[in-house]
Structure 1
Amino acid sequence: MSDVALLDANVLYPAPIRDILLQLAVEDVFWGRWTADIHEEWIEALLRNEPHRERVALERTRDLMNQATRDALITGYEALINCLELPDPNDRHVLAAAIVGRCDVIVTQNLQDFPTEIVSL
């Protein structure tokens, strides 16, 4: 069985990285997972930094991602968010989703926000 990886918004934001990760997930190198909140986070960041982008196109990308891999969308993690502590409280939803989604790893560029001593428990 493949490792289960929660993909954080910052690795879904850049299209080349997103494309590589999705291709690997489609090929079952790992099981890529995310949440609606993570999708909204990378979409909002792209729209903020590249205002020429159209939300409808990014939402189509989101929908295609959700369809491309098996059971990628994690739900039901919200109640756990306030029980968690991280250096950046805004990242608690990522850890909560990883726990509920039974993820083996969190794929992120913000390693400092997910200290090993907290997330490896």
Structure 2
Amino acid sequence: MIHSVKFKAVLDTNVMYPIVIRDLLFWMAYYDLYTPKWSGNICEEWKVVLMRKGKSEEEIQRRIGNANKAFPDALVRNYESLVEMLELPDPDDRHALAAAIKSNANVIVTNNLKDFPQEYIATFGLTAQSADDFLTEIIDLNPEIAVKAFREMVLNRKNPAMDDYEVLETMRKIGLHNTANYLHAML
């Protein structure tokens, strides 16, 4: 199913932080394994998370700006009119669903699956997947390119620099067990 840039995924705020999840998602997108999408609301929520983590306003703007520069088509526009019509367990998540509908996305990547009932979002032609399941599927369908993306991510990692196995261990600690195990088996 996931095999090209034609496959679009809205990245919920909770997969934009921690950094390792976001970086792996971004590197997979950089290698054209899917097209990332997000809303202005997701950027605002991401900003709030970074502020809570003690990041400076300058650092926050740099990170969000870099994401939007790296993926200039990721920011979904004109989705706001859909928000009020949608019904989710947490009304604060409606913007992510609205962005997914507006961008004709295939999936919402979120670690809060309970907030996106499959039966309801399927009526919009969408599914929701955890970051671990989404990344595992990408790797499964595109193993050589996915490993290349992972290795480039590791090579570009600074502060602290880590080797492949240290990054894999970090991934396991933040819940990307299947992704880390799959990548580990291919290294």
1:29 corresponds in structure 2 to 33
CA distance in 2, matches of 1:45, 1:34: 16
Bigger RCO (CA 8 Å, 6+ sep): 1
2:9 corresponds in structure 1 to 5
CA distance in 2, matches of 1:93, 1:60: 23
CA distance in 2, matches of 1:45, 1:28: 27
Given that 1:11 and 1:18 are in contact with CA atoms closer than 8 Å, whether structure 2 keeps it comes out as yes
| Deviations, residues 33-67 of structure 1 (Å, cap 9, x unaligned) | 1112101101202212x22x112112111111111
For normalisation by structure 1, the TM-score amounts to 0.94
CA distance in 1, matches of 2:108, 2:32: 17
1:38 corresponds in structure 2 to 42
**AA matched with 1:71:** D
**Structure 2 unaligned residues grouped into runs of 5+:** 124-187
1:87 corresponds in structure 2 to 89
| 1:45-60 alignment, distance < 5 Å | 45-48=49-52, 50-51=53-54, 53-60=55-62
**AA matched with 1:20:** L
2:20 corresponds in structure 1 to 16
**AA matched with 1:96:** A
| Deviations, residues 47-93 of structure 1 (Å, cap 9, x unaligned) | 12x22x11211211111111112411101000000000001111001
How much identity, in percent, do the aligned residues show?
A: 45
- 1:28 partner SS: coil
1:102 corresponds in structure 2 to 104
1:120 corresponds in structure 2 to 122
**AA matched with 2:15:** V
**Structure 1 unaligned residues grouped into runs of 5+:** none
For normalisation by structure 2, the TM-score amounts to 0.62
Given that 2:15 and 2:110 are in contact with CA atoms closer than 8 Å, whether structure 1 keeps it comes out as yes
- 2:84 partner SS: helix
**AA matched with 1:64:** N
**AA matched with 1:98:** A
What is the root-mean-square deviation in Å for CA atoms of aligned residues? 1.0
